[in-house]
Amino acid sequence: MFVSAVLILVCVCFLVLQLIPRRPKNFPPGPFALPILGNLLSLSVDNPLADFEKLRKSYGNIYSLYIGPRPVVFLNGVKAIKEAMVVKGPDFAGRPQDLFVNDVTERKGVILADYGPSWKEHRRFALMTLRNFGMGKNSMEDRIHGEIKYVVKTLEQSIGEPFSPQVMFHNAASNIICQVLFGTRYDYDANFIKVIVQCFTENSKLSSGPWSVLYDSFPMIRNLPLPFRKAFQNAKTAQDLAIELLTEHKNTRVPGEPRDFLDCYLDELDKKGNKSSLSEDRLIMYSLDIHFAGTDTTSNTLLTGFFYLMHFPHVQERCQQEIDRVLEGKDQVCFEDRHNMPYMQAAIHEVQRVANTVPLSVVHCTTKDTELMGYSIPKGMMVIENLTSVLNEEGQWKFPHEFSPENFLNEQGEFYRPEAFMPFSAGPRVCVGEGLARMELFLILVTLLRKFKFMWPKDAGEPDFTPIYGVTLTPKPYHMNVQLRSTQ
């Protein structure tokens, strides 16, 4: 009996030892991982960014973790991220195709599309189309200014009482994207805006939370009626809304005279037919991808910007002085004015740096066996670039842990952009909407700072600068006091 018990114990120990994850030869180092769970128990569910920083200090700028049974390589710091994403960009330009978010989007989007001919064709189309929207009578700049008028009206109605800007900025960013994509803007209380924002918000939380990790780690639970099923319902709801818009466009468009992104795509589809990867199914998810990416990041950056400008009134005042000087005699700002506003540009870039809106970027994977700073990284390895480590990196910034536009000004007070500034990532997968985002932030911030003064309510208590963690970092809800400037 004793011998049998010992044998059973030995067998159990042997099985457990076999389940312990083992890093391949010359693989990036990392902490000991438990069988099945990997390193999940050592990471905070609410916000693991501090845990990643501790691991960087222990194991260096390239280390590995096991998210459940799956190994993941984390990149930290300018040197490692730049070598991977820029120098060896094609090697690290893949996207994992077996994750929760892939199943939710049915692998038809472009953000998570794998690196290949279809992705390249869609990216070329997006870059060309967005660039063309920068010109003509109904240019991108005109669309943004058109939406700013509604923001100004909303703020004017709030003068004299504390105002919560969250919904306003989210809807404004959404509407700018809607005009580019669908040629339509919506009232801030319109059902389309409410429903699609709710779907995106819920899916963003699910994608960055524990249910997503469980879904990825344990395939046997994927068909169970667990909370992650809500993401699939939300995706279906959003797709149905996009299908309605696509049907309307098909019935009203004039080929060769595009009004918006959908029309441009349909024109391209007419030209290429079945000789390309373009399709109506892909267009639906493509437009939703762009809407989500462009709405959440821009609105959260604006919320962060005004939060900091209220708590650093000397920065707000200096921006306003520069705006008044450069725009004297002009009705409205144009994007070209940025070249005459070094301090304003520095302030906006500093807002983007501290906002750190997409702290872990979008997950990558290797397209081939490759090497990085002496380590061997096999094909198909999931890779996460920790942009937090870059935007706060010691030695890259004058004041890495403070809010200071001086981080983007040289000794002569001229604007410059350090190589560590990469909130949109870098390389082949750099955000396709970077140009639009930069234009939105500049035109909105300058217009509002020219007209209004923003103040922290006296009875609002001490500010909490800790953001809410998710796929995007979001400032905690706050109120502002708004008043017209005496110069206006």
Tell me how many domains the chain contains. 1
- Predicted confidence at residue 98, as pLDDT, reads 86
The structure tokens listed for 107 are 């692998």
17-35 pLDDT per residue, tens = 444 677 889 999 999 999 9
Helices (H), 312-433: 313-326, 342-355, 387-391
pLDDT tier, 136 (very low <50, low <70, confident <90, very high otherwise): low
Highest mean pLDDT among 195-204, 258-267, 371-380: 371-380
Q: How does pLDDT run across 40-63, given as a tens digit for each residue?
A: 899 988 889 999 999 999 999 999
Task: Please tell me the distance from the alpha carbon of residue 247 to that of residue 270, in angstroms, as a whole number.
Answer: 15
d(CA 203, CA 237): 12
Place of tokens 């390309």: 276
Q: DSSP character for 296? A: H
- For residue 202, the tally of other CB atoms under 10 A from its CB is 14
In a domain, 82, yes or no: no
User: Would residue 361 count as lying in a domain?
Assistant: no
Distances (CA, A) of 355 to 70, 315, 473: 30, 16, 7
The confidence score (pLDDT) of residue 382 equals: 96
Domain assignment present for residue 99? The answer is yes
Is residue 66 in some structural domain?
A: no
Q: What local confidence, expressed as pLDDT, does residue 2 receive?
A: 42
295-320: average pLDDT: 96
Phi, psi (deg, nearest 5) at residue 220 = -65, -15
Residue ranges of alpha helices (H) inside 220-279 are 229-252, 261-272
For tokens 């429903």, what's the residue?
195
Tell which residue, 475, 484, 477, 476, has the closest CA to residue 455: 484
Q: Give the pLDDT confidence score for residue 14 in this predicted structure.
A: 36
Determine the 3-state secondary structure of 258 from DSSP: coil
Of the pLDDT bands very low, low, confident and very high (cuts 50, 70, 90), residue 16 is very low
Task: With cut-offs at 50, 70 and 90, classify the pLDDT of residue 449.
Answer: very high
Q: Is the pLDDT of residue 152 over 60?
A: yes
Q: Are β-strands 382-386 and 452-455 bridged in parallel, bridged antiparallel, or unpaired?
A: unpaired
Residue 134's pLDDT is what?
Answer: 61
DSSP secondary structure letters along 372-406: ETTEEE-TT-EEEEEHHHHHT-TTT-SSTTS--GG
Whether 230 maps to a domain, the answer reads: yes
β-strand 382-386 against 70-76: which pairing, if any?
parallel
**Separation CA 305–CA 297 (nearest Å):** 12
Residue 73: HSE in the Cβ half-sphere, 13 Å Cα cutoff: 29
- Across the range 378-386, mean pLDDT stands at 96
Under the phi-then-psi rule, with left for phi > 0, alpha for psi from -120 to 50, and beta for the rest, what region is 248?
Answer: alpha
CB distance 176 to 261 below 8 Å: no
User: What is the residue-averaged pLDDT of the chain?
Assistant: 89
* Residue 35 pLDDT: 92
Query: Residues in the chain, how many?
Result: 488
- Where does the pLDDT of residue 11 fall: very low under 50, low under 70, confident under 90, or very high at 90 and above? very low
Going from the C-alpha of 27 to that of each of 73, 358, 364, 389, the distances in angstroms are: 9, 27, 17, 21
Give the chain's count of helices (H) and strands (E).
Answer: 16, 8
> In whole angstroms, what is the distance from residue 398 CA to residue 401 CA?
9
CA–CA dist 1, 20 (Å, integer): 29
Quick: pLDDT tens for 245-257.
Answer: 999 999 999 999 9
Q: What pLDDT, on a 0 to 100 scale, did the predictor assign at position 481?
A: 95
Mean local confidence (pLDDT), 172-186: 89
Q: How far is CA 252 from the centre of its chain?
A: 33
| φ/ψ (deg, to 5) at 73 | -100, 130
Pick from 8-22, 189-203, 287-301, 332-346 the range whose average pLDDT is largest: 332-346
- Cα distance between residue 179 and residue 467, in whole Å: 29
| Share in percent of the chain as helix, strand, coil (round to 5) | 55, 10, 35
pLDDT exceeds cutoff 70 at 311: yes
For 444, the domain range is 93-356+392-484
Residue 201, pLDDT > 60, answer: yes
Identify whether the C-beta of residue 208 lies closer than 8 Å to the C-beta of residue 44. no
Range 318-331 average pLDDT: 96
- Please answer whether residues 482 and 451 qualify as being in contact, where contact means their C-beta atoms are separated by less than 8 angstroms: no
Q: How is residue 483 written in tokens?
A: 């008043």
Asked if residue 3 has pLDDT above 70, the reply is no
Query: Torsion angle, CA of 258/264/269/275, rounded to 10 degrees?
Result: 130
Confidence check: pLDDT of 192 > 90: no
* Residues in a beta bridge with 62: 75
CATH number assigned to the domain comprising residue 424: 1.10.630.10
**pLDDT band with cut points at 50, 70 and 90 for residue 266:** very high
User: Is the CB of residue 195 less than 8 Å from the CB of residue 241?
Assistant: yes
Give the least confident one: 12-16, 118-122, 253-257, 443-447.
12-16
C-alpha 396/C-alpha 61 separation (Å) is: 15
> Distance between CA 206 and CA 212 in Å, rounded?
6
Q: What percent of the chain has pLDDT over 70?
A: 94
Residue 362, domain member (yes or no): no
* 456 found inside a domain: yes
Q: Is residue 300 part of a domain?
A: yes
